[in-house]
Structure 1
Amino acid sequence: MENLILMKKNSNGNYIFLWAVVNNNIEIVKSIIDYANKNNIILNITDTDDDGDDPLMYIICNGHTDMLKVILDYATEKKIDLKINKKNVNNELPLTVALAKKDERMFEYIMEYVNKNNVLLNVTEISGRLWDPIFTAVYTNNIKNVKLLLDYAIKNNINVGINTKKNLNHQKTIFFYAVNKNSFEMVKLIIDFANEHNEILDVNETNNINCTPLLIASSNNSTDMFKLILDYGLEKNILLNINEKNNYLCYNFIMSCINNNIDIAKLLIDYTKKTNVEFLVNDINWDGDYPVLCICRNNNVKFLKLTIEYANSRILY
């Protein structure tokens, strides 16, 4: 009996298995694998088309998690190297694309595959948009994936470059992006990782509108995040730029007043007592607002009294 031709490419570099993947048809994929197994044929599932993409990359781009499991299991069974660290012509890594899909199962399957087959993932490799896998996990706000990647890096003695500024357009650290995502748990995870590796985070870096992580926390009205950053600065003897203004002339205290958040104001006052750094109480922002005006607009008597007490105890800017 004559075997079917399974792996011959056409003029565009396409072949049967690849077309089944491109068409997102898991039944055809399973049928081809079943036929190959029955006829002792080893499928070459790593061949690329003329665009440089292979079945693995197409499956991940299509977001077909179940098909990914099928191809990973087949590769493991047949001892096929899927070249998971290989970039396509667009300079994209399969792992980074998978993380961008925000599909935890997809990422878990990839991690299972690399662990079973002793494949060393390059979790710091820059690709595509000049993001690496860890940055992608942070940017997509997936705490579980970030933890898995950091744990993997620890296990394999990989330096993740926690203070490296990434992304061509914005050039920020993963700490900054975690704060920007307003994810307390993720920021705490990054701080703990930095502490375990004796690295000091850059907590005073700014973005393209001159916001520091602390100012982002106050703008987001996130008291817990604000306190976490203040506490980290105190613990590491880092003097935080509490009076840094963004391009709209907003600063931490006025943001607490705009958001009617007296707890952030109290944290600022406590910080000034510990560091002997006074904070701005009268400066006007882009909209012409100033702290006391915002407090009165919010009709907050306690906040007004707190501000007056602070002003009386300090030399005003």
Structure 2
Amino acid sequence: MEEFNRLYKFITKEGIVQIISNEKNINDIKIKFQLLSEEDIEICLYLVAIDYNDIKSIIELNSYYLKEKENDILNNIYKRKLLDYERLKKVIYMFLKDDIRIKFTSDLILSIIERVDTNYSFFDACFTNNVEVIQLLIDYANNNNIVLNINEKDNYGDYPFFMACMIDNIKMVQLLIEYANINHIIFNVNEKDENGSYPLISIFINNNVEMFQLLIKYANENNIILELNDKDKYANYPLLLAIKKHKNVMMCQLLLKYANYNKIILNLSEYDIGNVSDIPDEIIELFIRYEKRIKIVYNNNSELLKRKNEMRVITTEETNFMEEINKYFRERIDNFTIYSNNTINRLFIKWLNENEINK
């Protein structure tokens, strides 16, 4: 790297146009910097041009190196981990403005979304909810009639839609969906990475109701049935995450409604839950309401089954109680129905206020 940095300083001093104007100058560099390959020299020349926003030199470099080839230099720079965030922005702005052809691979697209190396500042910047470069890539592709392969996986089984869900960036997910819809691309939303994870698991790990609703909408619009039961290598699955990790009633309800609508049986193990007493009553009520849609494996002397039975008695008593109240109101008020205890509480408070009993 020291020799490469020496070459960078040399090129900056001598000037790119001056160097590539005569093939003898390139040969002199090869002799002067014998530890570097021809690709090293090419990349270094491009880096200097990029850093100085030197469009003229980039065009000259393309004429010298590329001839009739499509420019793949950006991906070569990326593979060397020399394409930091600021450089990438400069490159895409220049190429959008001056119509210089470059090639975008799935690796490059993924590099903008994911953080492969924690010491690499470009990945850090893009990992923290930055969609600007993704938008630039899409603009470039649209301007040049290029259709990006946004379903292609990298070596780890990751793909753009999954990574956007994993980093919990709903703007990026919306941007990808919009691009996919325009270009008639269907996302493989159930596709798994090397750890067995998939978008829905990431969404439940992040406890993001809005993202889940967006995924359901996308799946429905594209006739996709979401995978609900598969576990990743860490034994996570959506229903368990909603119950144990977050105790999120809304996520449980959305999941069970979706399963019910699509006639899917959800699997649940009491052993996986751990401390059953931590489960909110509202979730136990959902277990009862959607009993036909959940296949529960109970422990011996099951605490979960005990709580369900206790809740079932309470629920039955409340239902009977509300039926009696509704009967009373129907005899006196047309089209009036109470659906929950909350309604009863509100009516009681209203009555107290009107009669000034609480003053």
The answer to whether TM tops 0.5 is: yes
The aligned residue for residue 244 of structure 1 is 230
2:284 corresponds to = 304
Q: Aligned partners of 1:315, 1:260: CA distance in 2, in Å?
A: 17
Q: CA deviation at 1:248?
A: 3.4
Where is the helix percentage greater, Structure 1 or Structure 2?
2
Please state how far the C-alpha of 1:208 moved relative to its aligned partner.
2.1
1:112 aligns with 2:112: no
Q: 1:118 to 1:279 in 2, by over 3 A?
A: same
Shift in Å at residue 199 of structure 1? 1.2
1:79, 1:175 → 2: CA distance? 37
Which blocks of at least 5 consecutive residues in structure 2 are unaligned?
115-122, 297-359
Distance 1:114 1:214 in 2: 36
Aligned to 1:70: 52
Separation (CA, whole Å) in 2 of partners of 1:227 and 1:54:
50
Structure showing greater radius of gyration is 2
Number of paired residues? Answer: 264
The equivalent position to 1:146 in structure 2, one of 130, 134, 158, is 134
Listed as ranges, the gaps of 5+ residues in structure 1 are: 1-13, 125-130
Decide whether the 8 Å contact of 1:175 with 1:190 is kept in 2. Answer: yes
- Provide Cα deviations, 1:233-286, integer angstroms capped at 9, x if missing partner: 111111111111223333211110111111111111221232122322x325xx
For 1:237 and 1:112, the matched residues in 2 are separated by 37
Could you tell me which residue of structure 1 aligns to residue 357 of structure 2?
A: none
Q: Distance in 2 between matches of 1:239 and 1:144?
A: 31
Deviation at residue 145 of structure 1 after TM alignment: 0.8
Counterparts of 2:81 and 2:141 in 1: how far apart (Å)?
Answer: 18
Following superposition, the deviation at residue 155 of structure 1 comes to 1.4
Counterpart Cα distance in 1 of 2:275 and 2:219: 28
Aligned residue among 24, 27, 44 for 2:20: 44
Identity of aligned residues (%): 22
Q: CA contact under 8 A between 2:189 and 2:226: conserved in structure 1?
A: yes
CA contact (8 A) 1:163 1:174 kept: yes
How has the CA–CA distance of structure 1 residues 315 and 187 changed in structure 2, closer, same or farther, with 3 Å as cutoff? closer
What SS does the corresponding residue of 2:241 show, helix, strand or coil? helix
Q: Which residue of 1 aligns with 2:77?
A: 94
Distance 1:99 1:272, change over 3 A: farther
TM (normalized to structure 2)? Answer: 0.63
1:19/1:246 CA distance change after superposition, 3 Å: closer
Distance of aligned partners of 1:96 and 1:138 in 2 relative to their CA distance in 1, 3 Å threshold? farther
Q: 1:303 to 1:100 in 2, by over 3 A?
A: farther
Q: Distance in 2 between matches of 1:239 and 1:232?
A: 10
Match of 2:220 in 1: 234
List, as ranges, runs of 4+ consecutive aligned residues in structure 1 with deviation greater than 6 Å.
Answer: none
Change (3 A) 1:267 1:44: same
Mapped pair 1:209 → 2:195: yes
Look up the equivalent residue of 1:94 and give its one-letter code: I
Work out whether residues 233 and 239 of structure 1, in 8 Å CA contact, stay in contact via their aligned partners in 2. Answer: yes
How far the C-alpha of 1:302 sits from its partner, in A, is 2.4
* Residue type of the alignment partner of 1:113: M
- State the match for 1:161 in structure 2: 149
Instruction: Give the deviation of 1:230 after TM superposition.
Output: 1.8
Distance 1:98 1:249 in 2: 34
Cα distance in 2, alignment partners of residues 266 and 150 from structure 1: 36
Following TM superposition, by how much is the alpha carbon of 1:69 offset from its aligned partner in structure 2, in angstroms?
Answer: 3.7
In structure 2, relative to structure 1, the CA distance for the partners of 1:176 and 1:123 (3 Å cut) is same
Counterpart pick for 2:110 among 135, 147, 159: 135
Q: Deviations over 1:101-128 (max 9, x none)?
A: 2x2x32232123324543111012xxxx
- TM superposition score normalised by structure 1: 0.70
- The 1:59–1:98 alpha-carbon spacing in structure 2 relative to 1, beyond 3 Å, is farther
Instruction: Give distance in 1, aligned partners of 2:14 and 2:242.
Output: 62
1:289 CA drift (Å): 2.4
Match of 1:199 among 174, 181, 185: 185
Q: Which residue identity is paired with 2:192?
A: T
CA contact (8 A) 1:214 1:242 kept: yes
